């Protein structure tokens, strides 16, 4: 399935202001997904006191992107755990935050993957393990 055929709002249950993706540029089921988020002064988490995208929101963006690597699952995925997360530089308004999620394992509703968020050649967040769970719908 191409990203042109799938809208973010059709896949994710999230709505404004908690959508952390602007565009999904590609994905392959059970393998990987790629997308981006444009960081702007209009984002609710950007303030004069906090003029960058919090790393926790970057991790949420990676988790949301992971949903596109598991489109064949039914139900809402829940972020369950993170391991070996490195937080490096900061994404500020005007930056395009490029996101990559790679599936490393799928088993019994659990999706395990690793994620990378960059701005140009700067690493913002690197996560070796992002785990989400999709309970079976009744």
Please give the average per-residue pLDDT across 37-64, as a whole number. 96
pLDDT for 6 equals 67
58 vs 37, 45, 61, 75, 136, CA distance in Å?
9, 11, 5, 23, 27
- The span from the CA of 88 to the CA of 11, in Å, is 29
Q: Inform me whether the pLDDT recorded for 2 exceeds 70.
A: no
Please give the average per-residue pLDDT across 21-47, as a whole number. 95
pLDDT tens digits along 57-113: 999 999 999 988 887 766 667 888 899 999 999 999 999 999 999 999 988 888 899
User: Phi-psi region for residue 84, left (φ > 0), alpha (ψ -120 to 50) or beta?
Assistant: left
Which band of pLDDT confidence, cut at 50, 70 and 90, is reported for residue 37? very high
């Amino acid at each position: 399935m191409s990203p042109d055929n799938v809208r973010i709002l059709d896949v994710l249950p999230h709505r404004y202001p908690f959508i952390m993706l602007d565009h999904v540029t590609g994905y392959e089921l059970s393998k990987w997904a790629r997308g981006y988020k444009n960081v702007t002064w209009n984002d609710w988490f950007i303030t004069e006191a906090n003029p960058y995208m919090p790393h926790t929101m970057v991790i949420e963006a990676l988790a949301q992107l992971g949903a596109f690597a598991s489109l064949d699952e039914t139900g809402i995925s829940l972020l369950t755990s993170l391991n070996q997360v490195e937080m490096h530089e900061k994404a500020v308004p005007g930056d395009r935050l490029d996101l990559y999620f790679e599936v490393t394992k799928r088993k019994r509703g659990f999706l395990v993957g690793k994620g990378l968020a960059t701005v140009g050649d700067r690493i913002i967040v690197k996560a070796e393990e992002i785990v989400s769970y999709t309970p079976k719908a009744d």
